Copies of this chain bind each other. A is one copy, B any other.
């Protein structure tokens, strides 16, 4: 198939086009008349099909040459499928079991065939529904730490890291989306922006805060320049799938070399938005218990991140940075350097967290957590808390010392009424 010109799959053509691919038939059988094919894509960018048969199930993900959410007026290169595949391969190696198994990749057709996660559902949906997931914090804390560390010059041979960094500079169209939608457009009247009625006074506070806007742009400079490690690039709760006891990460087409704190910062941000939006989804009886669980997940996620990062620092520091020749081999501990590194990662994570809290309410792609609250007055009140805390995080990313200070702040903002 790969020698043919790119053509989007349809429910009607999928079986004919993929029925001869061995790797796919191994999962769902070669009798395509038994294939049950559905289109399930609910993301912003791609086509996603499920193929099910008595033999098994598979996901077929295909990039479109434009942004699905907007249409063909916004072209987007198919190469993002290549980068997604490259990231998945690395994540599977750096944190085995964390991502779906890849069965097949066709670069020309921008198709990835992968494990169907069953009965997993999107984490965001579970958070909106008030469901608990065992081991969530542990799993994603490890995921972030392992990928941050093992994709960096702390671990990789520097020649390998540099050639990989060079390759991922090619994912520029996806990086440009983040550069614009996340870091910049929330802070001026950009064409595609929209926000809930009633939020204008809060938006005005943010857009007139020169110091905060400067901090946001300093973080953009880090996004576009600090090629510290291979990031997932879009690790929100829509890129995580869970059962009650298992958690997997999907959709890394925004993969890029960036700050080690980027992924965990975006993840924590999406937990905080889940937290602030809860009063729109359930009554007070279960509300505080579930909100407290979310805050506990945040704290445990970063705690796990730290523990895992420390372990890797002590046992896998094989790159050019902080070599043992300069520390342990001379009888010196490198703990001071390690703790400074963790502090640095945390600061970047806090800044990213605050910025993501803004863009999901003010820029193009909003979160279901808030969007599904139909009462716009209620929604705007909750979004206001979220926006104001985001501002606090951006402004004070260097003085909020740890995750427990962050969750205390969340409780404070959760009790404020701005509108």
Contact = CB atoms under 8 A, between A and B. Distances in A.
Nearest to A322: B217
One complex includes copies of this chain to the number of 2
Interface in A298-354: 320-323, 325-327, 329-330, 332-334, 336-337, 340-341, 344
Interface in A169-220: 169-170, 172, 175-176, 179-180, 184, 187-188, 190, 207-208, 210-211, 213-214, 217-218, 220
Nearest to A229: B225
A163 interface: yes
A172 B176 contact: no
A221 B169 CA distance: 19
Contacts of A138: none
Which applies to chain A's interface (DSSP): helix, strand, loop or mixed? Answer: helix
B330 A188 contact: yes
A52 interface: no
Contact of A165 (B153, B159, B169, B214): B169
A55 interface: no
A166 interface: yes
B332 A213 contact: yes
Contacts of A323: 184
B326 A188 contact: yes
Contacts of A179: 158, 320
Interface residues of A, number: 52
A214 B337 contact: yes
A224 interface: yes
A225 B153 contact: yes
A175 B227 CA distance: 15
Given A214-B337, A321-B217, A187 B326 contact: yes
Given A188-B329, A210-B332, A326-B187, A224 B166 contact: no
A184 B167 CA distance: 27
B153 A224 contact: yes
A332 B175 contact: no
A87 to B, nearest CB: 17
A162 interface: yes
Given A179-B320, A325-B188, A172 B153 contact: no
A42 B176 CA distance: 45
Contacts of A333: 210
A2 B416 CA distance: 72
Given A224-B153, A225-B228, A226-B225, A327 B163 contact: no
A42 B162 CA distance: 31
Interface in A210-253: 210-211, 213-214, 217-218, 220-221, 224-228
Contacts of A217: 321-322, 326, 337
A179 B319 CA distance: 11
A95 to B, nearest CB: 21
A336 B211 contact: yes
A343 to B, nearest CB: 11
A191 to B, nearest CB: 11
A326 B190 CA distance: 10
Interface string A149-166: 000110000110011011
Contacts of A152: 225
A167 to B, nearest CB: 7
Given A152-B225, A162-B169, 15 more contacts: A158-B179, A159-B176, A163-B172, A165-B166, A184-B325, A188-B326, A188-B330, A190-B325, A208-B332, A214-B322, A214-B340, A217-B337, A220-B320, A221-B228, A226-B226
